[in-house]
Structure 1
């Protein structure tokens, strides 16, 4: 079934930036919908507001037909030839990180030579973008799938001249809006398994969806990371993504992961190499690292942290859909939803002190899954797939009850049902209510 998917949240972020004199930078994992946002949704918005098609320029730089524009000089020249009058031109350069860097031809007798990292006199897509920004009637939009090229280096290059809009795979709300399922609970189970990569919705059978996701991970993400970073030992990267998928939402660090490789998998790899590989996966938006935060001390704790996947379907695909672990997958979905809503998210840590039976003071470290903050507002959120016994409820809420401030405390559970509060003011809500109501944290 071909689903029509509206990405209104992202369109609403772009529209206020139209004509602001800055470059609009759309980032996100490959195949999450950046091209559709620009080529279809944003283009239609412009047309609906009276912009003629000949003043809307969209160029897909991952299309083989446009290969010659991967040369930054060819790209710059081509865009300039399209500007025929003084009216505003809306220029969208999709997957711009594919444009290669060349040594300035002034220093190569006019020959085109690929630049090396050690070369100082080079021309890259950054120069193209900065040059086009100097044209007063060009409103520029670029997209890319790798934060090494966009979120980090490019935002530094542009400083106060760029606005970043980060896209994610479909939220559950977007997923439901596209599919209009008759059974929301069944839809969530499907979302947990196959995730929210937009093209998944076009496949009918579980086998088709799983084959697509496995191929996407292997042929697109692994290949991209390996080729871009010139990784020689491809199997180690593949093993690392499998290890991270198996331990999603677990506290870890490169040293722990290296020990797992060495002791359990009998693979000799250093923590420095693990650190590098994790950085590559973060740059490709496959993984996100979440730091720990001492709630009482109001400070970061750097020893260990958690990683979450950009999409539950991709996580499951890396494990061939054989290792479900619904509790941690639901936690991953909650994390992605909080990021989607614009919250800054950390793992909460509460240190408690008490005396044992011998009167000796003992320190206990309790964890709250997420501390979500936006402006001056903070929410403490615990993911609990099931609370079916008093003991389980005590375990899941113990950390929340030790937080001595007035910010809201929420437990998100798998079961649906009415939202309730206990005597400590802790709110319990089902995952479907949490995901489908964008204001659910206020309920």
Structure 2
């Protein structure tokens, strides 16, 4: 084929591999799900609109351009992705056993799909979940019912269909194959779903606050760049007709908005510009932007100190700030991910058998070597744990005779002592 033929040739469409699922009613306007993807509209800039029409529309794609929005999502997704997500099974006596050989444990901690590390997939899912309120992954099973892979999906390429209480997803998997999959093969993470199915972005719920932050950022950019001047213009009134007047008005506007003018437009002899912009000091621009950062952080429950807003915390209380971040923020987001992972990646029989996921948050609160050794010494001599249990926690090999608990210093009884000898002591 010639070069021109290749340019104008129609692209080859991927072939659907499954037959279409016939739904009795595909309600496009219902409260639960849509029959067409809304991402390309809402995320492309046509998101939630404030009642103040002059504020910019808020969408996830536009909002993440604000550094604080990106920082909040990045902090939450990064911390939840870098810690182990362990699979446990609770026995009837209340004891919990960690399961290491389950396919879900491997997919979430080692390799989620061929050539894709689990940390990449978990970060993408958590980031999209925090930013958009919806995140998707394709999780098919083999003939024996075992999970094969966890393939993260582009949320813009996912359509949610419904038929009564059943949900179906039109997706394009990582291999470029179009599929219509039932909900049992799709991991659908959803945030603030009023109906249980349709997730909502926290950015669109707080549209006015986020819109103010985006407008303030645009105002700051205009003030710093100096390439745009808000003003009114007095133009000379010596034109032959209205077309000449409008032509000169367009010329003046183009001169003002010219990025190469550096804020110094070239005007006519009798044209005058009266500035309406306020200076950065008059706008209290820095204070306003700091307030925007605090509001966005509160939307995501992220402590200001995690965003390097250090006027609220010093080194002396850094440990307490880390604990507050864990209890107020990460547990809120992490628990939702744990339960939704379990619902999609574990079978009903496995969940009824006591299997569940839990993030290992202890890795975020790891103490210093001195603090760790002092705690181990008190625990071993308590008695609380055996010496070998302490060695295993540190990654060392157990020692012979190290499985016995040390008695407290004031209790040195021996198993060979008689009751009279013990009473004599």
Give the TM bin, normalised by the shorter chain.
under 0.3
Q: Which has the larger radius of gyration?
A: 2
- Choose between structure 1 and 2: higher strand proportion: 1
Superposition TM-score, scaled by structure 1 size: 0.20
Superposition TM-score, scaled by structure 2 size: 0.21
